[in-house]
Amino acid sequence: MGDANFFEQQAQNRRRSQWLVAGFVLFFAWVGFGGDLALGLLTADSPPAAYHHVIPIIGIVTSVLAIGVCWYAQHKGAERVLWSAGAWEIIEPATAEQRVYVNVVEEMAIAAGIPRPRIWIVPDQDPNAFATGTDPEHASIAVTDGLLGALSRDELQGVVAHEMAHIQNEDTRLMTLLAGMVGAILLLSDGTGRMLRGGRGRLGGGGKGGGGKAGALGVVVLVIWLVTLIIAPLISRILAMAVSRKREYLADATGVQFTRNPLALASALEKLESATAPTRSIGRGAAHLCIVDPAERSISDVEGLVGDVFSSHPPLQQRIIRLKGMGFQFAKELMAEG
């Protein structure tokens, strides 16, 4: 990848991050002000002494909340992802495996031309890895205990190079934002569902409100509002999965440029594919950050709509086939040079 493509990839990720923030704030504004509109219409025909929803307090609160979530995801999202995974930082390597890990990270940081990221370990026996952070100067890379124990040095180098590619391309900025926002939407959807179940039947307490045209329109707006809340988690999940899947192929290819050893990453992915247990330390909200789906591996092998919705990554076999194809091409070039 040339410098022009590298900088263009970074610029695209910055633009996508800005659009993501704008869309997220607009969604929360609709949730709030849409709810205000529905309540206003439903209570418009109520008796004078009954409650009339006039001040759009819900919209104001949700808009401020959305801005706060975006700020928090931008500035604290990486820390929360590492905290939620139970990761701990290597300050001074204590074992031979940790020393190899630190050395590999330092080598790949030099190959990628970026500052060395902070180095973490996740206490989980399922092999996996992820990178997070707002930019290459404030990035972290984490691998599980299981990954360190399962891979050779070359295979570990391939995995680390893949994560360095995410950091170099600033995928981590976009993906960390997504992790915070998807989590916020899931919380909003769950909280609204509980609120509606608890407050069922409380609107129009006088028994006479909501019978006019305003009330009928209010019901329509309320239905649209509820449908939005129901499908929002699914849409946000599909968005996160689609963004992640495209970037995994690019990170594989870019990582290979750092190591010049595509077969090592292919071998590592084969070992990760054979580990069928989920990475329990990493939640679904951060699944798209990982090198392989932390859920059951069989889900990521399903192509089509089911795989797109329930898996955060493209099928591992497809990635392995592409990497082996790169290895074959490299071998041909070496033979031609010889």
pLDDT for 245: 66
Tell me whether residue 155 is one of the annotated catalytic residues.
no
Stretches where the chain sits below pLDDT 50 are 1-4, 200-210
Cβ count near 26 (within 10 Å): 12
pLDDT for 14: 67
3-class SS of residue 142: strand
Q: Which domain holds residue 81?
A: 3-337
Between strands 139-144 and 129-133, the pairing is antiparallel
pLDDT for 192: 57
pLDDT, tens digit, for every residue of 189-215? Answer: 665 556 555 554 444 444 444 455 666
Q: Which of 79, 107, 155, 163 is catalytic?
A: 163
127-163 b/e (C-beta count within 10 Å ≥ 16 → b):
bbbbbbbbebebbbbbbbbbbbebbeeebbbbbbbbb
pTM for this predicted structure: 0.74
The first and second tokens of residue 71, run together, are 């700020």
Q: Distance between CA atoms of 260 and 252, rounded to whole angstroms?
A: 11
pLDDT for 8: 64
The secondary element (H helix, E strand) that includes residue 122 is strand 118-122
pLDDT for 268: 95
pLDDT for 123: 94
266-277 b/e (C-beta count within 10 Å ≥ 16 → b):
bbbbeebbebee
338 DSSP 8-state letter: -
Which strands form 118-122's sheet, in the order they lie side by side? 88-89, 118-122, 139-144, 129-133
Q: Distance between CA atoms of 170 and 190, rounded to whole angstroms?
A: 31
pLDDT, tens digit, for every residue of 318-329? Answer: 899 999 998 888
Structural domains in the chain (count): 1
pLDDT for 164: 95
What backbone phi and psi angles, to 5 degrees, belong to 142? -135, 140
